[in-house]
Amino acid sequence: MRYITTTDDRPILRGIADHSWHARSACRDLPPSESDRLFFPLPRDHRSIAEAKSLCGGCPVKKACFNAALEQGSKEGIWGGLTEKERRPWRAKISKRLDYERVRSAFLGRDVHLSDAERETVTRHAYVRGWSPERLAHTLRLDLDYARDLMREAAHAVADRDRHWGLYGTAGDQDDDGERPENSGSDGETSDDEQDEKPAEEFSPVARHIHTKALITALGKAA
């Protein structure tokens, strides 16, 4: 019997209730008064801010500290080596974040913080996989009625995608008015003059009947 072992060096995402990273922080042994002076300084106390950033620079859990501040919406203090002003652009874009590692972790059962875009992606994949609203509610720790609403929205989104898939035909099937052009010759063949006028290379899109599920699957694997 052969065993296949793999090594995954990707960092494990911190769960919502996971605060174990506090014990590995560089500031864990500081007295409370010193921590307040460094990480919650006065607006113009540039010396304390620089000292706090220097301490955060070598901290092994700087990223976890930064993510915790974003997820909790912390607007005061220095977290992850960044001040509130420096974290403001990141906080404004947190709802649009789409990290597929977080999406994958949610499917694996980890309780991670998901943005609106990530929750929408999980819901659509769950609908395509045939999940029930109860299973989605258990996975995302949601209310059952809210999970049903999310699944209903995912069903409409998938239906709209499939309805418009392959809507446009190949080039030459229709003109600008949506009507098929009439053939100039009686047998449907082009004349020699028209063939001479054609360029050596022209764009040829994939025909509508080739847009099959097998092709979509193959393109997804290639991507």
Query: pLDDT at position 112, please?
Result: 87
Give the closest residue to 157 by CA, choosing from 130, 119, 127: 127
The predicted model scores a pTM of 0.56
Among 68-77, 118-127, 193-202, name the one with the lowest average pLDDT: 193-202
Q: Could you tell me the pLDDT band of residue 184, with boundaries at 50, 70 and 90?
A: very low
pLDDT at residue 146 tops 60: yes
Query: pLDDT at position 171, please?
Result: 45
Query: pLDDT at position 221, please?
Result: 61
Query: pLDDT at position 4, please?
Result: 45
Alpha carbon distance 76, 89 (integer Å): 15
DSSP secondary structure letter of residue 61: T
Taking only the tens place, the pLDDT of each residue in 194-217 is: 445 544 444 444 444 445 566 566
Q: Which residues of 144-181 are buried (b: 16+ CB within 10 A; e: fewer)?
A: eeebbebbeebeeeeeeeeeeeeeeeeeeeeeeeeeee
Q: Could you tell me the pLDDT band of residue 182, with boundaries at 50, 70 and 90?
A: low
Q: Could you tell me the pLDDT band of residue 162, with boundaries at 50, 70 and 90?
A: confident
Which residue matches tokens 């500290």? 65
Query: pLDDT at position 220, please?
Result: 64
29 versus 9: the higher-pLDDT residue is 29
Q: What is the mean pLDDT of residues 56-78?
A: 90
210 versus 89: the higher-pLDDT residue is 89
Q: Residue 98 is encoded by which pair of tokens?
A: 């789409």
| Average pLDDT over all residues of the chain | 77
3 state DSSP class of 79: strand
| Contact (Cβ atoms closer than 8 angstroms) between residue 98 and residue 78 | no
The one-letter code for the residue type at 192 is: D
Query: pLDDT at position 26, please?
Result: 93
Query: pLDDT at position 8, please?
Result: 52
Give the closest residue to 147 by CA, choosing from 130, 134, 129, 128: 134
Percent of the chain clearing pLDDT 90 (strictly above): 40
